[in-house]
Amino acid sequence: MSRTDLISDAFTIIRNASCVKKEVVNVPASSVMSSVVEILKREGYIENFKYIEDKKQGTLRIYLKYVRGKPAINNLKRISKPGLRIYVKRDKIPLVLRGRGIAFISTSTGIITDREAREKKIGGEVIGYVW
Q: Each residue of 32-49: pLDDT tens digit?
A: 999 999 999 999 999 999
Asked if residue 57 and residue 83 are part of one domain, the reply reads: no
Residue 1 lies inside a defined structural domain of this protein: no
Q: Each residue of 66-99: pLDDT tens digit?
A: 999 999 999 999 999 999 999 999 999 999 999 8
Q: Which domain holds residue 89?
A: 76-130
CA-to-CA distance for 30 and 46, rounded, in angstroms? 18
The SS3 call for residue 68 is coil
Residue 121 lies inside a defined structural domain of this protein: yes
Residue 122 lies inside a defined structural domain of this protein: yes
Q: Is the dihedral of CA 77, 102, 98, 96 positive or negative?
A: negative
Domain containing residue 122: CATH number: 3.30.1490.10
pTM reported for the whole predicted model = 0.91
- Rounded to an integer, the average pLDDT of 94-105 is 95
pLDDT at 25: 97
Residue 90 lies inside a defined structural domain of this protein: yes
β-strand pairing of 76-78 with 87-88: unpaired
